Amino acid sequence: MSTASASPPVPSSVPPSSLRERKKRRTRQLLVDTSLELFTERGFGNVTLDELCDSVEVSKRTFFRYFTSKEDVAMAPTQDLWLTFIDVLETADLGPADRPVLLLIQDTLLTALDRTTTDDWSHRVLLSLILAERTPSMDAHGLHFCDRTTRAALATLHRRLDIPDPADLRPRLAVDMVVAAFHCALATWASATGTASGTVTAAAPRTAPSPNSLSAHTRHAFTALAAAPTFPVTPRQDTSPRP
């Protein structure tokens, strides 16, 4: 939030467009960081959009260039991951023709994680998860975003793969299974903060676990997903009297 007069001189060798893009990224990131800080300290419903914009010293018009709502900016950390996932899926190496589409989607998400996750990102994601646990409107926003992302992923798969039947359910089920597995991994990863139940709450510590461990949890979830269809039904041999 420094003034222009306090800014260091710009080297003439740096393209102006590059400087503009960096400034846009800084403004967007400042909106995300400030919103998470204010929402965490005061509660999501107790911070108005005007107050958020005043804290970052931008207009609401500028805010809406980046985000559609308070919920949108509060959920930006995880949404950024899935936007990267869609970008990677657009250009991912499809591999051999007999490669299962489920593996393609899994590898795409792992690549997106590698490109997105940093220590700062981990902290932002944890704060966002804590807020979502106690903010119904964020949960609803997340469901809508998940639906849009799923449809975007399916559109990309149908554009890049030879899928003769547009109504084939297998690509949709593959995407849904990967999303479900990642949600399990994310909950387990977040529970490393000390939350006993495995879900994130407002009382959870603010120190996020390592982003590298999120990739490890995700790989573990994918391994479990592959074994889930053959998980046997074994009745419990419990001889204790029922209550």
Residue-wise pLDDT tens digits, 87-107: 999 998 888 888 999 999 999
Please report, for residues 9, 98, 197, 234, the alpha-carbon distance to residue 238 in angstroms, rounded to integers and kept in the order given: 75, 45, 25, 12
DSSP string covering 90-107, please?
HH----STT--HHHHHHH
The CATH number fitting domain 75-228, selected from 2.60.40, 1.10.357, 2.60.120, 3.90.930:
1.10.357
* Percentage of the residues of the chain whose pLDDT score is greater than 90: 68
The CATH number fitting domain 15-68, selected from 3.40.50.720, 1.10.10.60, 2.40.30.260, 3.40.50.2020:
1.10.10.60
Place of tokens 């805010």: 63
Question: Which ranges constitute the DSSP H helices of the chain?
Answer: 16-42, 49-56, 60-66, 70-74, 76-91, 101-116, 119-133, 136-160, 170-191, 211-227
Top pLDDT among 53 and 3 is at 53
Q: Do domains 15-68 and 75-228 have the same CATH topology?
A: no
Burial of 10 (0-12, 13-18, 19+ CB in 10 A): exposed
Residue-wise pLDDT tens digits, 181-191: 999 999 999 88
Burial of 98 (0-12, 13-18, 19+ CB in 10 A): exposed
- Structure confidence at residue 194 as a pLDDT band (50, 70, 90): low
Burial of 15 (0-12, 13-18, 19+ CB in 10 A): exposed
- Structure confidence at residue 66 as a pLDDT band (50, 70, 90): very high
Domain definitions of the chain by residue range: 15-68, 75-228
- Structure confidence at residue 20 as a pLDDT band (50, 70, 90): confident
Please report, for residues 20, 28, 67, 118, 205, the alpha-carbon distance to residue 16 in angstroms, rounded to integers and kept in the order given: 6, 18, 24, 27, 42
Q: Is the Cα dihedral 138, 116, 161, 170 positive or negative?
A: negative
Q: Structure pTM?
A: 0.82
Residue-wise pLDDT tens digits, 111-159: 999 998 777 888 899 999 999 989 999 999 999 999 999 999 999 999 9
Q: Is the Cα dihedral 49, 54, 58, 61 positive or negative?
A: positive
